[in-house]
Structure 1
Amino acid sequence: MKTTFKTCLVAIALLIGVNTYAQDQPVTFGVKAGVNLSNVGGDASGTDAKIGFNAGVTLDYGFTPDVYLLTGLQLTTKGFKVKVLSEKLTSNLMYLQLPVHVGYKLTVAEATKIVFHAGPYAAYGIGGKTEGEKSFQDGAYKKFDFGVGLGVGAEFGKIGVDLGYDFGLANINDTDVDGKLKNMNAYLTLGYKF
């Protein structure tokens, strides 16, 4: 946990440093937060979506005036609900996630852009519980997750809104029961660029 925390601090410092020392470069630093609606796919059946949250820092690097690399570091919750016998169980999984998307920003009016983006993500489980039991420490779920995401958003000057979906490709199930489980997550965020 200490190593993960130190890694996050270094990543945030690098993001701030890149923005500070690259004022003439096409780099934009920002923050964002929002809500998630997550579930699992794969061999899972009878699961329901659960509501969670996401928050993080963003970094946009412009290759051209319209094409960007969109990345950052996010704290995001995923998971699902399932009914076992007569009891409803909720699995709350918390990840540090690093998306690496390529985005196209289409200018539609002065200081207004529509943003289309897609690309891979990698995530590392840092915590969470399933009805009182620790999710990653008890061997129920694998810590590493990866997949692909896509989204569409709008930028109004320094304020941005984004709607997207992440498709997990990794099997996060660390038990011999239930087969393959893959994260699925829809999100809506509100952000600000400095």
Structure 2
Amino acid sequence: MKKMTFSLIVAMLVAVTSVSAQQLYLGVKGGVNLSNFSGDLDNADAKVGFNIGLAADYEFMFNHAIQTGLFFTTKGAKYEGDLGDVSGKLTMNPMYLQLPVHYAYKLDVAPGTRLVFHAGPYMAVGVGGKVKVKASGSSAEVSDDFFQDGAFKRFDAGLGLGVGAEFGPLLVDLGWDMGLTNISDISGVDAKNQNAYLTVGYRF
């Protein structure tokens, strides 16, 4: 009887500890992007953009978490030089709603401070953006919708990885998203998004 009681108490303590270790945190994050293309469009120059959104962090056990959220992010690239028969500048600025799902391992380095290593897939849907062309020596600028001219697909997916830090409720994150989906809708042309980002955030 004593052994059974002791075993029951241990089982209850394990269960309570397990439940108490599970935490869901919500927060906001935003920062800067440095994006480009790989594939047949890899001769482009990187372009600076931004990201902002809502983040969710579910710690399902001690120092292990699933990180996700919904982010508005810009990607794309820019070219400068010969554009067919003219010389000028071409800027491609697609905008996406992006949903990452990352596994994260958190390493305690000081009281209230943890390093966070995370990786996992992402999915994104294009919601807008422009392709701007400006010829050298001219003040005129031609602008077209990035997704509605038949050249690019709206769906994007790939893998991401990063490293960050938690300073109490304050968050800092440095990461890289590697597109695995060909976003070009032109036959014979392969183009994939590549995007590095630096974000700061606050966790509630």
Deviations 1:4-43 (A, max 9, x none): xxxxxxxxxxxxxxxxxxx995100000000000000012
Shift of 1:84: 5.2
Regions of 4+ moved over 3 Å: none
One-letter amino acid of the counterpart of residue 34, structure 1: G
Give the equivalent residue in structure 1 for 2:45.
48
Shift of 1:83: 3.0
User: Among residues 58, 68, 73, which one is paired with 2:70 in the alignment?
Assistant: 73
SS at match of 1:48: coil
Give the equivalent residue in structure 2 for 1:101.
102
Give the equivalent residue in structure 2 for 1:17.
none
Aligned partners of 1:159 and 1:193 also within 8 Å = yes
Give the equivalent residue in structure 1 for 2:138.
none
Distance (whole Å) between structure 2 residues aligned to residue 46 and residue 39 of structure 1:
9
Aligned residues: CA RMSD: 1.4
Deviations 1:95-148 (A, max 9, x none): 000000000010100000000000000000000000110001111210000000
**Gapped regions of structure 2 (runs ≥ 5):** 1-19, 133-142
Shift of 1:176: 2.8
State TM-score, norm by structure 2.
0.81
Deviations 1:49-70 (A, max 9, x none): 0000000000011121111000
Bigger radius of gyration among the two = 2
Identity %: 58
Aligned partners of 2:175 and 2:197 also within 8 Å = yes
One-letter amino acid of the counterpart of residue 202, structure 2: Y
Distance (whole Å) between structure 2 residues aligned to residue 82 and residue 88 of structure 1:
6
Distance (whole Å) between structure 2 residues aligned to residue 77 and residue 103 of structure 1:
24
**Gapped regions of structure 1 (runs ≥ 5):** 1-22
Shift of 1:46: 2.0
Distance (whole Å) between structure 2 residues aligned to residue 44 and residue 133 of structure 1:
19
Give the equivalent residue in structure 2 for 1:37.
34
Aligned partners of 2:36 and 2:42 also within 8 Å = no
Distance (whole Å) between structure 2 residues aligned to residue 180 and residue 70 of structure 1:
30
Q: Does 1:166 align with 2:167?
A: no
State TM-score, norm by structure 1.
0.85
Aligned partners of 1:46 and 1:83 also within 8 Å = no
Shift of 1:45: 3.6
1:67-146 map, 5 Å: 67-83=64-80, 85=82, 86-131=87-132, 132-146=143-157
Aligned partners of 2:21 and 2:62 also within 8 Å = no
